[in-house]
């Protein structure tokens, strides 16, 4: 059974538009997150729900990346020039929310059979799923 290519997500669309110059804006170099592949997240959530486990479960990728670094990975994967991506610091804006939001999923990962891939892995050219 073959799987149809998924439509680009909003963050991927933004990276493409910024890289080709059809949209103004910037990707923040100081806004840190731990992206996880959507299929890994959905599978892990299903696994937890079926297990009957209760409590707090952190489900995040292993790589802490800035929004800018994530954009660079997306651009490279999609054949775009990452050097064309504009960058900025979110700390100089008045946007609400934490700058460095890292989740440590090691304890949750030990309870799962689903492996939570980090962005460096799931955005490599070799892994396009």
Give pTM, 2 decimals.
Answer: 0.84
Q: What pLDDT digit, counting tens, does each position of 69-108 carry?
A: 999 999 999 999 999 999 999 999 999 999 999 999 999 9
Tell me how long the chain is: 129
Tens digit of pLDDT for each residue in 34-51?
A: 999 999 999 999 999 999
Kind of pairing between the strands at 87-88 and 65-66: unpaired
Strands (E), 45-90: 65-66, 87-88
């Amino acid at each position: 059974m073959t799987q149809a290519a998924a439509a680009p997500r909003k963050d991927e669309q933004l990276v493409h538009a910024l890289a080709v110059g059809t949209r103004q804006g910037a990707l923040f170099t100081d806004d840190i997150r731990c992206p996880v592949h959507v299929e890994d997240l959905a599978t892990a959530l299903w696994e937890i729900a079926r297990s009957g486990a209760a409590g707090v479960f952190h489900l995040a990728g292993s790589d802490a990346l800035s929004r800018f670094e994530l954009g660079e990975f997306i651009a490279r994967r999609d054949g775009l020039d990452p050097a064309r991506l504009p960058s900025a610091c979110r700390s100089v804006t008045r946007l609400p929310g934490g700058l460095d939001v890292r989740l440590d999923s090691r304890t949750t990962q030990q309870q799962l059979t689903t492996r939570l891939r980090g962005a460096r892995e799931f955005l490599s050219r070799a892994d396009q799923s």
